[in-house]
Amino acid sequence: MDQSIATLFARIKAGNDARRADFGLAERRAALDRLADVVRRNEAAIVTALKADLGRPEAETILTDYLPVLQEITHARRHLRRWMRPRRVWPTLATFGASGRVEPQPRGTCLIIAPWNFPFQLALGPLVSCLAAGNAAILKPSELTPATSALVARIVTETFPPGLVAVVEGDKTVAEALLALPFDHIFFTGSPAVGRIVMAAAAKTLASVTLELGGKSPVIVGPDADLKQAADWITFGKFVNAGQTCIAPDHLYVHASVKDAFIAALRARIARAYGSGAASPHLTRIVSPSHAARLSALIADAVEKGALLPLASGQEGQSIGPHLIEHTTPDMRLLQEEIFGPILPIQPYTDTDAVIAAINAQDKPLALYIFDRDRSRVEEITRRTTSGTVGINLTLLHYTHLNLPFGGVNTSGIGAAHGEAGFRAFSHDRAVLRNRFLLLPLLFPPYGPRVMRLIGLVKRVLG
């Protein structure tokens, strides 16, 4: 193992152990305030870094990377006193005479592994929850976004003492070295494939994990959908960040009775948002040549197997314009792999049961989106499927609702993040039980006739 990483871990762990009793509400709020201040002062630098790494438009960076971090900090600071407060619990009959409470306790030394698609907010957002819960952390940004990674490292160095938070930059060998260390909790955002590797590594040290993964999130446009509303939200949800979003609509089912009208509305909305296609200044580029080549191969595979493209808006290097694909078949890679790009397969349907069966035959998605004004049909789809989240007549917005937990199910994730859910993810709920006037000693051995009579009474009372 890289000894510098081991030494860094030892320093963070020692600092956390020394600080544990004194990192209370005031200290945590102060840490969050310092982070908010340095993020605000670096707004221009954040925009510049994401432009360099992803060709991200300024407005998109503000909306998807900059503001979410500040919102997370503001929300945590406002509610932290309540989150930290021990929760009293009522006694059961067996524990009558004792007082019980649950107190959130910091997990300890945490590892946060951030992805490349939203490299700023998916690094610092979990860090907010980690600090709010009273922990220390090592943060590993993605090597695929080097400008943002370097900026995150600088921000952390400027903001926190060395024993509280540190950043380690590097490739997957660095991540492997970090995963070999005995962290108390690991927070990982990325693909299900890498999530399995993280979970296997955590098992070796029995570290707890939060895994924010992804998968193939479906969207259903029902026969009674508001087609303009659906086109607006699906265009936004699918093509923001060029589709490189874990909760982007991956594939779309549209009722046959509205298919042509919906595709026309969707094409018109895409043209208004990204008129020049791959050359649009409003479109983020694909993160790397290899990722762009993978997406091009997905399109080529579909066309070779008979798919049609009602919209193909070109490719210029790593910039790929929005693509709509029809006449898909199960053997196409588009329907087998998470797309993670600006490509939307569209499948017509007439039978809602068949769509539900198709969704349930796949891994549980991180998000499920339903566009329909028929409440009973929406409720039926919701009731008969499982997903991390359901979005009704919208996409993506649930991610920003800090009073809702954000997380997946099985292959789409383990645990939850954001707001109080994020605080709980980085906390251990410790049970504390205090004896006030417990009568249980009356049942202690020796088990003579008197004790047996009392046990009989207890049996009758407790059933």
Residue 224 is given by DSSP the state T
In angstroms, the Cα distances linking 327 to 104, 330, 362 are: 52, 10, 20
The DSSP secondary structure of 241-263, one letter per residue, reads GGG--TTS--EEEEEGGGHHHHH
Residue 202 is given by DSSP the state H
User: Which tokens in the block code for residue 426?
Assistant: 């980085």
> Which of the residues 72, 246, 338, 420 is marked catalytic?
246
Confirm if 261 and 227 have CB atoms less than 8 A apart: yes
User: What are 209's strand-pairing partners?
Assistant: 186
> Which of the residues 60, 72, 110, 212 is marked catalytic?
212
Count the helices and strands in the chain (H runs, E runs). 16, 18
SS3 of 320, please? strand
SS3 of 216, please? coil
Compute φ and ψ for 210, nearest 5 degrees: -120, 120
In angstroms, the Cα distances linking 353 to 347, 350, 363 are: 15, 9, 17
Instruction: Specify whether 130 is catalytic.
Output: no
Instruction: Specify whether 110 is catalytic.
Output: no
Residue linked to tokens 């549209």? 254
For residues 365 and 379, what is the distance between their CA atoms, to the nearest angstrom?
A: 17
Confirm if 234 and 395 have CB atoms less than 8 A apart: yes
| Helix H or strand E segment including 299 | helix 289-304
Q: Which residues are catalytic?
A: 212, 246
